[in-house]
Chain A
Amino acid sequence: MAEVPMERTLKDVPVGASCVVKRLTGTGAVKRRIMDMGLTKGTRVTVRKVAPLGDPIELTVRGYELSIRKDEAARVEVEDA
Chain B
Amino acid sequence: MAHAKLNIALAGNPNCGKTTLFNELTGSNGYVGNWPGVTVEKLEAPLKADPSVILTDLPGIYSLSPYSPEEVVSRDYLVKTRPDAVIDLVDGTNLERNLYLTTQVLECGTPSVVGLNMADVLAKRGDAIDLPALSARLGVPVVEISALRGTNVDALVDAAVEAGEEGRAKEPVHWFSSTVEDALAEIAGIISPAVADPATLRWFSIKAFERDGEALSALDLGEGEREAVEAIVCAVEDELDDDSESIITTERYDWIEGVVAECVRKAPAKLSTSEKIDRVITNRILGLPIFAAIMIFVYYISVSTVGTIGTDWANDGVFGDGWFLSPASAAAYDEAAGAYADEDYPTQLDAFLAAAGDAGLDTSEVLGAIEDGDTAEIEAFAAEAEAKGVVAKDVPWLDADGNYLDTEGNVVLVDADDEPMLAAGQELATHDPITATEFLSAVNAEEPIPGEYGWFVPGVPVVIGEWLESAGASPVVQSLVLDGIVGGVGSILGFVPQMIVLFLLLCFLEDCGYMSRVAFVMDRAFRRFGLSGKSFIPMLISSGCGVPGVMATKTIENERDRRMTIMLTTMIPCGAKLPIISLLMGALIGGIEGWWIAPLFYLLGVACVIVSAIMLKKTRPFAGEPAPFVMELPDYHLPALKSYLLHVWERVWAFISKAGTIIFVACVGVWFLSNFGIAGWEGGSGAFGFLPEMADAPANAMDYSVLAGVGSAIAWIFAPLGFDNWQAAASSLSALIAKENLVSTFGVLYGLGEVGEGSTVLWASFAQMFTTAGVVHLGAMFAFVAFNMLDAPCFAAVGTIRRQMDSSRWFCFAIAYECAFGWVVGLIINQLWELFALGNFGFWTVVALAALAAMLYQLFKPMPKFGEEAMGKNAPMGEVA
Chain B residues contacting A16 (CB-CB under 8 Å) are: none
Do B632 and A64 have beta carbons less than 8 Å apart? yes
Do A50 and B284 have beta carbons less than 8 Å apart? yes
Select B525's contact among A53, A66, A68, beta carbons within 8 Å. Answer: A53
A81 within 8 A of B: no
Do B97 and A33 have beta carbons less than 8 Å apart? no
CB distance from B522 to the nearest CB of A (A): 8
For A34, give the chain B residue with the smallest CB separation: B630
B305 within 8 A of A: no
Do A56 and B632 have beta carbons less than 8 Å apart? no
Q: Mark A15-37, 1 if CB is under 8 A from B, else 0.
A: 00000000010011111111111
CB distance from B751 to the nearest CB of A (A): 55
CB-CB contacts below 8 Å: A52-77 with B: 52-56, 58, 62-69, 71-72
CB distance from B382 to the nearest CB of A (A): 75
Bound Cα distance A31, B283 (Å): 28
Chain A interface helix/strand/loop/mixed: mixed
Do B524 and A56 have beta carbons less than 8 Å apart? yes
Bound Cα distance A66, B633 (Å): 6
A8 within 8 A of B: no
Chain B residues contacting A65 (CB-CB under 8 Å) are: 278, 632-635
Bound Cα distance A40, B431 (Å): 85
For B241, give the chain A residue with the smallest CB separation: A23
Complex interface: stretch among B245-253, B491-499, B571-579, B759-767: B245-253
Question: How many residues of A are counted as interface, with CB atoms below 8 angstroms from the partner's CB atoms?
Answer: 36
Select A64's contact among B94, B242, B871, beta carbons within 8 Å. Answer: B94
Do A67 and B62 have beta carbons less than 8 Å apart? no
Chain B residues contacting A64 (CB-CB under 8 Å) are: 94, 97, 632-634
Bound Cα distance A68, B253 (Å): 19
Among A24, A51, A72, the one with the most B-chain Cβ atoms within 10 Å of its Cβ is A51
Bound Cα distance A24, B634 (Å): 24
B628 within 8 A of A: yes
Bound Cα distance A58, B633 (Å): 8
Bound Cα distance A68, B629 (Å): 6
Do B96 and A63 have beta carbons less than 8 Å apart? yes
Select A63's contact among B68, B94, B285, beta carbons within 8 Å. Answer: B94
Select B253's contact among A40, A54, A56, beta carbons within 8 Å. Answer: A40
Do B877 and A56 have beta carbons less than 8 Å apart? no
Select B249's contact among A28, A40, A53, beta carbons within 8 Å. Answer: A40
Chain A residues contacting B630 (CB-CB under 8 Å) are: 30, 33-34, 37, 66-68, 72
Do A51 and B94 have beta carbons less than 8 Å apart? no
Chain A residues contacting B67 (CB-CB under 8 Å) are: 28-29, 32-33
For A50, give the chain B residue with the smallest CB separation: B284
Given contacts A42-B250, A51-B520, A51-B523, contact A36 B633 (CB under 8 A): no
B521 within 8 A of A: yes
CB distance from B13 to the nearest CB of A (A): 10
Do A52 and B94 have beta carbons less than 8 Å apart? no
Bound Cα distance A30, B519 (Å): 18
Chain A residues contacting B288 (CB-CB under 8 Å) are: 52-53
Bound Cα distance A80, B253 (Å): 20
Question: How many residues of B are counted as interface, with CB atoms below 8 angstroms from the partner's CB atoms?
Answer: 48
CB-CB contacts below 8 Å: B53-72 with A: 62-63, 65, 67-68
Bound Cα distance A64, B95 (Å): 10
For B629, give the chain A residue with the smallest CB separation: A69
CB-CB contacts below 8 Å: B212-267 with A: 242-243, 245-246, 249-250, 253-254
Do B521 and A37 have beta carbons less than 8 Å apart? no
CB distance from B856 to the nearest CB of A (A): 27
B408 within 8 A of A: no
B873 within 8 A of A: yes
Given contacts A50-B284, A67-B520, contact A38 B633 (CB under 8 A): no
Chain B residues contacting A49 (CB-CB under 8 Å) are: 282-284
For B210, give the chain A residue with the smallest CB separation: A32
Bound Cα distance A65, B519 (Å): 14
Given contacts A24-B246, A33-B628, A72-B629, contact A38 B96 (CB under 8 A): yes
CB distance from A43 to the nearest CB of B (A): 7
Chain B residues contacting A62 (CB-CB under 8 Å) are: 94, 96-97, 253
Among A35, A36, A53, the one with the most B-chain Cβ atoms within 10 Å of its Cβ is A36
Bound Cα distance A51, B291 (Å): 12
Do B97 and A38 have beta carbons less than 8 Å apart? yes
For B247, give the chain A residue with the smallest CB separation: A41
Do A66 and B629 have beta carbons less than 8 Å apart? no
Among A32, A49, A52, A58, the one with the most B-chain Cβ atoms within 10 Å of its Cβ is A52
Chain A residues contacting B282 (CB-CB under 8 Å) are: 49, 51-52, 58
Bound Cα distance A72, B631 (Å): 12
Bound Cα distance A51, B97 (Å): 24
B320 within 8 A of A: no
B439 within 8 A of A: no
Chain B residues contacting A42 (CB-CB under 8 Å) are: 250, 254
Given contacts A33-B65, A37-B62, contact A55 B628 (CB under 8 A): no
Bound Cα distance A24, B712 (Å): 63
Chain B residues contacting A68 (CB-CB under 8 Å) are: 628-631
CB-CB contacts below 8 Å: B77-122 with A: 94-97, 100
B141 within 8 A of A: no
For A37, give the chain B residue with the smallest CB separation: B630
For A29, give the chain B residue with the smallest CB separation: B67
Chain B residues contacting A35 (CB-CB under 8 Å) are: 245-246, 249-250
Chain B residues contacting A43 (CB-CB under 8 Å) are: 253
Chain A residues contacting B285 (CB-CB under 8 Å) are: 52
B287 within 8 A of A: yes
Do B628 and A38 have beta carbons less than 8 Å apart? no
Bound Cα distance A67, B634 (Å): 10
B625 within 8 A of A: yes
Chain A residues contacting B524 (CB-CB under 8 Å) are: 51, 53-56
CB distance from A36 to the nearest CB of B (A): 4
For A53, give the chain B residue with the smallest CB separation: B524
For A26, give the chain B residue with the smallest CB separation: B625
B19 within 8 A of A: no
Chain B residues contacting A67 (CB-CB under 8 Å) are: 516, 519-520, 629-633
Bound Cα distance A30, B523 (Å): 17
Chain B residues contacting A33 (CB-CB under 8 Å) are: 65, 67, 628, 630
Bound Cα distance A13, B68 (Å): 29
B454 within 8 A of A: no
B150 within 8 A of A: no
Given contacts A28-B873, A37-B97, A41-B246, contact A56 B287 (CB under 8 A): no
Given contacts A35-B246, A69-B629, contact A55 B523 (CB under 8 A): yes
Given contacts A37-B97, A51-B523, A51-B524, contact A30 B632 (CB under 8 A): no
Bound Cα distance A66, B96 (Å): 14
Bound Cα distance A31, B140 (Å): 30
* Contacts A/B (CB < 8 Å), 28 sampled: A28-B67, A28-B625, A29-B65, A29-B67, A29-B628, A29-B873, A31-B246, A35-B249, A35-B250, A38-B96, A41-B242, A49-B284, A53-B521, A53-B523, A54-B524, A55-B523, A55-B527, A56-B524, A58-B633, A63-B94, A66-B631, A66-B632, A67-B516, A67-B520, A67-B633, A69-B523, A69-B527, A72-B630
A residues near B, CB below 8 A?
24, 27-38, 40-43, 49-56, 58, 62-69, 71-72
Q: Give 10 nearest A-B pairs by CB, closest first.
A: A53-B524, A52-B287, A36-B63, A65-B633, A29-B67, A40-B250, A35-B249, A62-B96, A30-B628, A33-B628
- Taking A40-B254, A53-B524, A67-B630 as known contacts, 5 extra A-B pairs with beta carbons closer than 8 A to each other, sorted by chain A number, are A35-B249, A49-B284, A63-B96, A65-B635, A69-B523
